[in-house]
Amino acid sequence: MSPGGARTRRVLSTRAALTAAALVAVFALSACATGAVSAGPTSHRSTPHRMTPTPRPPRPTPSTVPTPSVLGFDKTAQSIDDPASPWVVVNKSRGLNPLDYVPADLTYPDVPNLNDQPMRQATAAAVVDMFHAGKAEAGLDFSVQSAYRSYESQTRVYDDDVAHNGQAYADTDTARPGHSEHQTGYAVDISAVPANCSLAACFADTAQGRWLAANAWRFGFLLRYPADKVPVTGFAFEPWHFRFVGVPLATELHRAGVTTLEEFFGCPGGTEYH
């Protein structure tokens, strides 16, 4: 080999090494880790009016369900602290701000509603769409068992649970006022029609419970308190409790196989109040 040829090989080898050394790692930061958007708006009370829910969005299909970007899902796209945000994370470690928050757009969906309770407009539109799909696809009927509860209503529910079962037990299945998802207007307790295992763990084994567990994500809902995540969420298994988070986030959770907001956003949770 000529000296010139040897020099050429050495130059090419050096360039390849420099190119390999220039590679960088990409990492993601969770919304909780970065302290993204906090402090909810000032509370203002409003009286829910009966109104026709906003037009229902079309049921998600493979062509309408958002596909996560190749760069990853943006966990900072909406606030996890603002109680008006559908991504708000509220649990025993994270109370609402303010504690007596009241949603501004409460309405009543045109579906069976046992306790005649309102919910946010986005939640109502998604509930109607989901109930219609359950009927059309599986011949199933559903009812809203519980939806929005005010700070005062949650106080009564919690105090009644304590009076009947003691505080230790009450804290496993009823949120303290200011720490309840129902107060956001984004949570819905769903029961079967005719009633079967309402507000009981056996609801998971009903046809309605199985259909919801498999399909609720398509309409923007998350089964909020899974049986295997009690140490994370702080609450006992509630197969009837579904939380509206919007189709994009629900789709990403389903795609990623993550079943709690705490784990997805890297937020504190747990069984103790803070």
- Say whether the peptide bond before residue 98 is cis (omega within 30 degrees of 0): yes
Q: Following CA atoms 111, 114, 118, 119 in sequence, which dihedral angle do they give, to the nearest 10 degrees?
A: -70
Amino acid 66 reads P
The phi, psi pair for 179, rounded to 5°, reads -125, 15
Q: Which residue of the set 181, 238, 252, 262 is catalytic?
A: 238
Task: Give the pairing of strands 187-193 and 238-244.
Answer: antiparallel
137 is annotated as an active-site residue: no
Beta-strand pair 187-193/221-225: unpaired
Sign of the Cα torsion 64, 68, 73, 74 reads negative
Size of the chain, expressed as the number of residues it contains: 274
Largest CA distance in the chain: 94
Distance CA 182, CA 148 (A): 5
d(CA 201, CA 199): 7
- Residue 265: how many CB atoms within 10 A of its CB? 19
Supply the residues annotated as catalytic: 238
